[in-house]
Structure 1
Amino acid sequence: MHLHPDTALTDTPDGSVLLNKRTGRYWQVNRTGTHTLDRLLAGETADQIAADLAARYDIDAAQVQADITAMTESLLAAGLVEPS
């Protein structure tokens, strides 16, 4: 996955903000979401990230996977990211 060419990404103390330059809409992502997005943009799979986060925070890997899928689908639907 990669950012859409019309997406601006800015880090903030609480995570990051993505701007869709075509629509002017902003999206705020918390620190965990930013960490996940950075890893997805670097080419890691959702399964790899979910397994790591589940082990690190002792939480259910299936729930982490569902959260990553939901975030990814939202970013795709908003036109902020594109599949590679």
Structure 2
Amino acid sequence: MTFALHPDVSTADTEYGIVLLDGRDGRYLQLNGTAATAFRALLDGGTVEQAAERLTTTFDVAPDRAGQDVERLVAKLVALKVVAG
């Protein structure tokens, strides 16, 4: 699955992660540092597995937990229509 940010969604890095602004309805979404790491990996063209691997090398998290977390993040972002995947 290849990820692409919706054209009406912009991002801003913060000291706590990333904030996404959906220009269609003014909704803000804040991703914490862990979610931001996975999000960046996905937007860089990585797979869910590669994003999970990045989490395990950056944070103290088990591989199976990282995979589940990335899958949940993907599902949420797709459901909110801020990314196309």
TM over 0.5, shorter chain: yes
Instruction: State the distance in 2 between where 1:24 and 1:56 align.
Output: 32
Count of residues in correspondence between the two structures: 83
Q: Which ranges of structure 2 fall in alignment gaps of 5 or more residues?
A: none
Partner in structure 2 of residue 2 of structure 1: 4
Partner in structure 2 of residue 34 of structure 1: 36
Does structure 1 conserve the Cα–Cα contact (< 8 Å) formed by 2:38 and 2:55? no
| Identity over aligned pairs, percent | 35
TM-score (norm: length of structure 1): 0.87
Instruction: State the distance in 2 between where 1:58 and 1:32 align.
Output: 10
CA spacing shift, 1:59–1:34, aligned 2, 3 Å: closer
Instruction: State the distance in 1 between where 2:57 and 2:26 align.
Output: 37
Partner in structure 2 of residue 73 of structure 1: 75
TM-score (norm: length of structure 2): 0.86
Mapped pair 1:60 → 2:65: no
Question: 1:55, CA displacement in angstroms?
Answer: 4.7
Q: Which ranges of structure 1 fall in alignment gaps of 5 or more residues?
A: none
The CA RMSD measured in Å over matched residues stands at 1.4
